[in-house]
Amino acid sequence: MTTFQRIVLASRPTGEATLENFRLETVEVPELKDGEVLVRNEYLTVDPYMRSLMNEGKSYMPPVQLNATMAGGTVGEVVASKNPTFDTSEVPLQAYLGVVGMPGMTAWYGLNQIMVPKPGETVVVSAASGAVGSVVGQLAKLKGCRVAGIAGGKEKCDYVVNELGFDACVDYKAGKLAADLAAATPDGIDAVFENVGGPVLDASLARMNPFGRIAVCGLIAGYNGEPVPVNNFSAVLVMRLTMRGFIVGEHMEFWPQGLNELAMLVACGKLKYRETIAQDLANAPEAFLGLLKGKNFGKQLVKLTR
Amino acid sequence: MTTFQRIVLASRPTGEATLENFRLETVEVPELKDGEVLVRNEYLTVDPYMRSLMNEGKSYMPPVQLNATMAGGTVGEVVASKNPTFDTSEVPLQAYLGVVGMPGMTAWYGLNQIMVPKPGETVVVSAASGAVGSVVGQLAKLKGCRVAGIAGGKEKCDYVVNELGFDACVDYKAGKLAADLAAATPDGIDAVFENVGGPVLDASLARMNPFGRIAVCGLIAGYNGEPVPVNNFSAVLVMRLTMRGFIVGEHMEFWPQGLNELAMLVACGKLKYRETIAQDLANAPEAFLGLLKGKNFGKQLVKLTR
């Protein structure tokens, strides 16, 4: 193992991101220093937040520089080490990139620290079949909530209800989101996990009960740079709502507790997940762009080794 | 005192409210029952929230019914009593409708329970010369914050800076709100007290620092029923903001502490306020409609007795 491959940001997108914005490079493995380990990566995760790091200017993390590596989470095997620390694993390796990793913790934090739903309350989750939304809804069901998802297409909605156990799932592609969400939430909405923004958030705002809580995890509707106004903002005042944006990496103090709970739920079969796996680093940009359009089904991963 | 006057809701507004929506009536004083007192009201307060109660449908309080009294806060003298409870007063009577009443408590609650600013942080207050905004800014100055107001016109802005002691005040009528607010908040914004919504809120959102707090007290820009979209909503995610709408009447547990603090600050001259006083109940609708257009200067009251 003397060389490795990486994807760099070749150019910044204007509007929608394209394959031309990325470039695959082969570079030499640097010499190992004290405290470092050399990891042979087996899986790469691609996630929606990466799109916002491709833009120049102010975001919640510094943008990726041109010709710099598009960094992403990986799991793999330590093949050389100048560091005495070890890890043991009790769940499948790639789950550490999903349900027992950053996406799972994102779901756990938003639900337990922002939405704080009581048994019997109604919870709505957008991007419900995705790596984060699927965990939010299952955790909310375990708390005794009524849970309605929002997802794109009949196949995903069927999975959300039949496999994940949500009470209902609304297909936003069916063209009558407001009416369908109203039917799925007869008692109104007490807490929302928002991954999308724009018209999807507006549909939830129109159904909020007094003192509702909205965890703002992602606004994927606006990641290509177009403005996505919120039209039903007055609900924040009228219904005395609390909305909070968050990034789970800023709340590391909750990770040991959260990851422990998530790993136990996976181990005993109470937390299901699904993966879409692309093969080879060279196909990571295509997998990532597909993710932004909802082509994946569950956590999108890239298998780096054969 | 055998009759009294009242203003009733004659019709619901379509768009902007007009004088024709109100009607002045003279009715008989009912017989006093055990536990009741008869009050000769001296002052009536008119406040922006009343506008939303004129619309039919879901709001944070039940709408006023047609031909029912447009209720409002009053202070006056007890002229007959079948109730042994008494009150003593240490501040001017009408201050209980303003700085030591609901508007003052609204400011106190939003600042101390939602915005929670630290010394040195930058606080922005919209409708800064009004009954609520003027108190928010003065309390924030007492906490050692940098405070920028937003108000309509040079006269109000001068008052906010020179009399109330804000560090800066931006005139939204000058037509370059975003640039002027940027100049007034060189270190960004850490906490906002929002009374207006729409473009005023968007200007603040564009300047927020990470982990900023926004207390949503009013959205007067939308009270006539027109939609007022929020275009810079992505700041909630990017800057990990917390926004919370509130109605101070739902938090009565804080009133004794808050009113005590406000009364002491008024008594020792550290909390200034200004009033615009209309004469006679018959002129209450006009005073109220003027308030919605910012014609008042400080707390709008109606003097009921001569």
Phi, psi of A62, deg, nearest 5 = -60, 140
CA distance B283 to chain A (A): 28
Q: Take residue B139 and report the two structure tokens written for it.
A: 């309390």
Question: Are residues A228 and A199 both part of a single domain?
Answer: yes
- Residue to mutate among B109, B236, B246, with most A CBs inside 10 A, is B236
Tens of pLDDT, residue by residue over A228-274, are 899 999 999 999 999 999 999 999 999 999 999 998 899 888 999 99
Residue found by looking up tokens 């995890």 in the block = A217
**A205 interaction partners in chain B (CB closer than 8 Å):** none
Q: Predicted confidence band at B89 (pLDDT cuts at 50, 70, 90)?
A: low
Q: Give the pairing of strands A189-194 and A74-81.
A: unpaired
| Structural domain count, chain A | 2
SS3 content of chain B, % helix, strand, coil (to 5): 35, 25, 40
Question: Are residues B223 and B113 both part of a single domain?
Answer: yes
Question: Are residues B64 and B193 both part of a single domain?
Answer: no
Answer whether A230 sits within 8 Å of B228, measured CB to CB: no
**B217 interaction partners in chain A (CB closer than 8 Å):** 237
Angle among Cα B238, B244, B247 to the nearest 5 degrees reads 165
Give the SS3 label for residue B92.
coil
Residue A254 lies in a domain: no
Question: Are residues A223 and A293 both part of a single domain?
Answer: no
Give the chain A residue nearest B243 (alpha carbons): A243
Q: How far is CA B250 from CA A94, A239, A240, B247, B253, in A?
A: 48, 12, 10, 6, 9
Question: Are residues A140 and A240 both part of a single domain?
Answer: yes
- CATH number of the domain residue A237 falls in: 3.40.50.720
Question: Are residues B239 and B118 both part of a single domain?
Answer: yes
Tens of pLDDT, residue by residue over A63-83, are 999 999 999 889 888 888 888
Residue found by looking up tokens 């990470």 in the block = B210
Residue B146 lies in a domain: yes
Task: Give the separation between CA A65 and CA A284, rounded to whole angstroms.
Answer: 18
Residue A258 lies in a domain: no
Q: Take residue B123 and report the two structure tokens written for it.
A: 């606080």
ipTM above 0.90, yes or no: no
User: Kind and range of the H or E element at A21?
Assistant: none
Question: Are residues B170 and B81 both part of a single domain?
Answer: no
Segments in chain A below pLDDT 70: 58-60, 85-90
Centre a 10 Å sphere on the Cβ of residue B177 and count the other Cβ atoms it contains.
Answer: 18
Given CA atoms B65, B68, B70, B72 in this order, what sign does their dihedral have? Answer: negative
> Structure pTM?
0.82
Question: Are residues B198 and B106 both part of a single domain?
Answer: yes
Residue B294 lies in a domain: yes
Question: Are residues A169 and A223 both part of a single domain?
Answer: yes
- CATH number of the domain residue B296 falls in: 3.90.180.10
- Residue to mutate among A193, A201, A208, A236, with most B CBs inside 10 A, is A236
Domain region containing A75: 3-98+274-303
Question: Are residues A110 and A243 both part of a single domain?
Answer: yes
B1 and chain A in contact, CB less than 8 A: no
Q: Which residues lie below 8 Å from residue A86, measured CB to CB, with a gap of 6+?
A: none
Question: Are residues A208 and A290 both part of a single domain?
Answer: no
Answer whether A219 sits within 8 Å of B228, measured CB to CB: no
Answer whether B238 sits within 8 Å of A58, measured CB to CB: yes
Residues 249-268 of B with CB under 8 A from A: 250
Question: Are residues A27 and A118 both part of a single domain?
Answer: no
Residues 198-257 of A with CB under 8 A from B: 210, 216-219, 222, 227-231, 233-234, 236-247, 250
